[in-house]
Amino acid sequence: MELTPRLKAVADQVPDGARLVDVGADHGYLPVWLLLNWRIRRAIASDLRQGPLDNARENARFYGVSERMDFRLCDGLADIHPDEVTAVTIAGMGGETIAAILAAAPWTKEGKTLVLQPMTSLPELRLWLQQHGYAIESESIAREGDKLYSIWTVQGGEMSPLTLAELWAGRQSGDPLRGEYLDHILSKVTRALEGQRAAQRKDEAAIARLEEAAAGLKAMKEGST
């Protein structure tokens, strides 16, 4: 069984020997792969919907890891007891959903390792984490086709404040895809800036923030090449 590069990058950040809950497990490939490769001790696959959870159960059976895996039909971490897990993965979901799931489970700040792979609203999620007692410990980047994904290891704790550019692109990392990722983020910020500048009623504060982010991203890019 092989994981896609995005899910493999998530798996790579899960601590060895973890008791894991994969929130929004869908097909369950991530926990199944981690169990199959003896990277983790136990896993809970949780999902909001019965269909995906049935798929995860079927995949666990197919790959012979059912005995080390549980299945929970619930919203986020609602039916997970903090003592059951040492690590939490939340991948392939929007940043707002991830923040809402963590907000409803403040125990995730207490000695757990979180591996997050948001699909949208990355700057907003980084800011939310910073403001709610979480620290982003490391970030990696994965490529699938022409898409780049950012995967974060997060723990409860203080994080020195992120600059505007860091909210967009994360802190400097030695990832081989970092230069490409910065180009991608810079073009996003540039497009947003052009949109703001072309608007009939200009939001000068938003323009100033985007200009600051763009300048910071350019400086990061120069530092990374």
Q: Which residues bind ligand SAM (CB under 6 A)?
A: 7, 23-26, 46-49, 52, 75-76, 91-93, 97, 101
Beta carbon of residue 209, minimum distance to ligand SAM (angstroms, whole number): 30
What does the alpha-carbon distance between residue 42 and residue 175 come to, in Å, rounded to a whole number? 30
* SS3 state of residue 90: strand
Looking at the Cβ atoms of 29 and 181, the one nearer to ligand SAM is: 29
* Minimum separation from the CB atom of position 189 to ligand SAM (A): 26
Task: Tell the residue number behind the tokens 């490939």, with chain if given.
Answer: 29
CA distance 138 to 153: 5
Dig out the tokens for 119 from the structure.
């699909």
Q: Burial letters for 139-173: b for 16+ Cβ neighbours within 10 Å, e otherwise? A: bbbbeeeeebbbbbbbbbeebeebbbbbbbbbbeb
Please state the closest distance from residue 8 (CB atom) to ligand SAM, in A.
11
Alpha carbon 38 to its chain centroid, in Å, reads: 23
- Least CB distance to ligand SAM at residue 219 (A): 32
- Whole-number minimum distance, CB 140 to ligand SAM, in Å? 15
Q: Which is nearer to ligand SAM, 77 or 182 (CB)?
A: 77
Least Å distance, CB 118 to ligand SAM, is: 10
The first and second tokens of residue 98, run together, are 């991830």
Instruction: Using the minimum distance from each CB to ligand SAM, give the nearer residue, 145 or 174.
Output: 145
Of 91 and 142, nearer to ligand SAM (C-beta) is 91
C-beta of 97 vs 113, nearer to ligand SAM = 97
Pick 10 or 164: Cβ nearer ligand SAM: 10
Here the tokens at position 53 are 């959870």
Among 136, 131, 206, CA closest to 169: 136
Strand partners of residue 47: 73
Residue 13: closest CA among 29, 34, 38, 37 = 34
